Chain A
C-alpha cells in the first residue's frame, strides 16, 4: 500500500495550510524513489504489490513456448509457404509439364479412336444386309428381343393355322349341308 504512486486520494485537504497550494501529498517523497525505480525497471516490481506470483521458471520457458507455437501454427496453416518460393516454382513447373503431357497423349488417343470409328463406319456402309447379318451373332441381339420376336412369329403362324383350319371346317360343313339337302 505504501508503494502507491498516485497518492492524490490520500491527501487530507484539512491538513493543507492555506496559501500553500503546491504542498506535496502526504508520504509523497517517501514513496518517490520506489516510483522512479518501478518506472525504470518496469518488470517484476508489481509482483510484490499485488501479492500474485508465477510458477517457478515460468518466464524462463515462456519465450521458447511461444516461438514453438507460432512456428508450428504457421507451418500448419500455410504448407505452401513451407516449401519456399524457389521450390514451389519447381513443383509448379513439374505439375504443369505433367498436365501438358497428359493433354497431348489424350488428344492423340482421341484422334486415333475417331479415325478407327470412321473406318468402321465406312466398312459397314459397304456391306450388304446378308453380310451384316452374317457378322452379327446371337449376343448382338438381346435375349429379350429375340424371345419377343420368336413369340410374335409363333403367334402369327398359329393364327394362320387356325384360319386355315376354320376355312376347312366351313368348307366341310358347306359340303355336308349340300349333300344332305340333296
Chain B
C-alpha cells in the first residue's frame, strides 16, 4: 500500500516539468533491479538485458506523461519490460532464421558462457530446465517462483486470465520435475 502511495506522489511530481528528470531518476532507482532481473531471466545475457532495461525506461519516460493511474506503475513497467524482452527474442529468431529448439540451445549456450553467473550446479540445472519451457510458461514460472508475484498482478502484466496463468505455472512445474527426474 505504501508503494502505491509513493508511486502516486512520484507521478504527481513527474507532471511538474522542472522536476521531471529528478523524479524519473527516483523511479529508475526504485524499479531498476526488478526490471533488470525480470528481463535477465528471459534473455539470460547481461549485455542484452542492459540494453533492454535502458530501452524499457526510455519508453516509460516517453509515455509517462500520458500514464493513467488505472494501472500500477510497477505493473506497467513490467509490461513494457516483458514486451521488450519477448520482441527482442522474436527479432533474434527471425534475424537468424532459427527454429524454437535452436533458440533454446542458444539461450542455454548464453547461460553457460555468461561470466555473470555465480550460482551452484543445482541453480544452473534449474535454469537449464526453465529454458526448455515455452516462452510464456517460462515467464509465468519466473514471476511466480522467483519474484513471488501474485497471480492477479501477473494477470495485469501479461494480460492473461488468472486461471490460464495457474494452469501455465502448473504445466511448467511438471515439465521441470520431469527434466530433473530425467537428469537424475
Which residues of A does B touch, CB under 8 Å? 1, 4-6, 9, 35, 38-39, 42-44, 46-47, 49-55, 58-59, 62-67, 69-71, 73
Contacts and interface: CB of A to CB of B under 8 A. Distances in A.
B124 A51 contact: yes
Contact of A51 (B24, B61, B118, B170): B118
Interface of B: 21, 24-25, 28-29, 32-34, 36-37, 40-41, 46, 50, 53-54, 57-58, 61, 114, 116-120, 122-124, 126-127, 144-148, 169-170, 173-174, 177
Contacts of A67: 21, 24-25, 28
A75 B147 CA distance: 37
B32 A46 contact: no
A62 B30 CA distance: 12
Given A42-B34, A62-B32, A67-B21, A55 B116 contact: yes
B33 A71 contact: no
Contact of A53 (B24, B117, B145): B117
Contacts of B25: 63-64, 67
B28 A50 contact: no
Contacts of B58: 66, 69-70, 73
Of A63, A64, A69, chain B has the most CB atoms within 10 Å of the CB of: A63
B127 A50 contact: yes
Contacts, number: 92
A165 B40 CA distance: 113
A62 B61 contact: no
Contact of B127 (A38, A42, A51, A62): A51
A39 B33 contact: no
A85 B19 CA distance: 18
17 contacts: A5-B148, A39-B148, A44-B33, A44-B37, A50-B119, A51-B123, A51-B124, A52-B114, A52-B117, A53-B116, A55-B116, A58-B50, A62-B53, A63-B32, A66-B28, A66-B57, A67-B21
Given A5-B145, A9-B174, 19 more contacts: A4-B145, A9-B177, A43-B33, A46-B146, A50-B119, A51-B118, A51-B119, A51-B126, A52-B41, A52-B116, A52-B117, A53-B116, A62-B54, A63-B25, A67-B25, A69-B54, A69-B58, A70-B58, A73-B58
